[in-house]
Amino acid sequence: MSQPSALINVMVAAAQKAGRKLTRDFGEIEHLQVSSKGPGDFVSNADKKAEKIIYQELLRARPKFGFLMEESGETPGEDNSNRWIVDPLDGTTNFLHGIPQFAISIALERDREIFAGVIYDPVNDQMFWAEKGQGAYLNRRRLRVSGRRKLPESLFSTGIPFIGADEKEQAVFMRQLSAVAGNSAGVRRFGAAALDLAWVAAGRYEGFWEAGLHPWDVAAGIVLVREAGGYVTDQRGGKNMMDSGEIIAANDSLHGDLLAILRKARKAE
């Protein structure tokens, strides 16, 4: 399906409109007013404006759907089966430091399952999109996860805990990072979980793992990786990614190996 459906077109249009605003604000980064939302977690005027644009566009197109958004929280809809899950600016810290690695993430949850998603990199005009049963795409090009099968040849990505993180979880992460790095071609940390997942779907990374995430960080990426032929679980091998905040995404050949390494490192003292 190289031609996106009407649903995907709605999501793409909302992401592109918000992306144009983010790109303009990114070009004027020094003028942004920034407020603190917590240790190491900043929200900008650009973030709020992008979310408002996305909300208005999606509400206009599907007025009965509910919303779960990073900044505004949950807004129930008349249609209890469909809910938009929105991160208007994934990679906020990158954005505020002038680092062009950030994205807009929009997913549709249907009957409590992620049905469709778009992840838009506005700086590079790369639109990743997927719909259940229809495949995953970058703009109009079909995506497949990497075909590499050996850990020493594989490149992984992750997110590093920052200020305010639990000390025990920080120690667990450092053991996991050391274990994965010691068995692979390398580990990268670019600071935008949605893009990391999109890049797994595109075969740029062999896998990704992180903990402490929110539904809006991972929802669109889950359907992208699955539709690109990949495998997604939580860090215990289950399907509780949205609630647990833990995720492992990889191709089917390496997912088990990555999961085993992470679980062993978690148990180590």
DSSP line for 204-252: SSSEEEESS--HHHHHHHHHHHHHTTEEEE-TTSSS-HHHH--EEEEET
Domain 151-267: which CATH number of 3.40.190.80, 3.30.465.10, 3.30.420.40, 2.60.40.10: 3.40.190.80
What's the chain's Rg over C-alpha atoms?
Answer: 18
Q: State in words which class domain 6-142 has.
A: alpha beta
Q: Which pLDDT does position 83 carry in this prediction?
A: 98
Is a pLDDT exceeding 80 seen at residue 108? yes
Burial of 27 (0-12, 13-18, 19+ CB in 10 A): exposed
How far is it, in rounded angstroms, from Cα 189 to Cα 80?
Answer: 37
Q: Which pLDDT does position 27 carry in this prediction?
A: 82
Average pLDDT rounded to a whole number, residues 235-247: 94
How does pLDDT run across 29-42, given as a tens digit for each residue? Answer: 766 556 555 434 45
Q: Which pLDDT does position 167 carry in this prediction?
A: 80
Helices (H) and strands (E) in the chain, counts: 8, 15
Residues 107 and 116 sit within 8 Å (Cβ to Cβ): yes
Residues 126 and 138 sit within 8 Å (Cβ to Cβ): yes
Q: Where in the chain is the domain with CATH 3.40.190.80?
A: 151-267
Q: Of the candidates 217, 214, 168, 175, which has an alpha carbon nearest to the alpha carbon of residue 196?
A: 217
Q: Where in the chain is the domain with CATH 3.30.540.10?
A: 6-142
Q: Which two tokens stand for residue 16?
A: 């592109």
What are the backbone dihedrals phi and psi of residue 253, each rounded to the nearest 5 degrees, phi first? -75, -35
CA quadruple 71, 108, 9, 147: dihedral sign: positive
How does pLDDT run across 119-135, given as a tens digit for each residue? Answer: 999 999 999 999 999 99
How far is it, in rounded angstroms, from Cα 222 to Cα 197?
Answer: 7
Q: Which pLDDT does position 45 carry in this prediction?
A: 82
Average pLDDT rounded to a whole number, residues 45-67: 96
Q: Which two tokens stand for residue 51?
A: 């979310």
Q: Which pLDDT does position 2 carry in this prediction?
A: 67
Q: Which two tokens stand for residue 174?
A: 């450092």
The pLDDT mean for the chain works out to: 92
More confident residue, 31 or 251: 251
Q: Which pLDDT does position 39 carry in this prediction?
A: 39
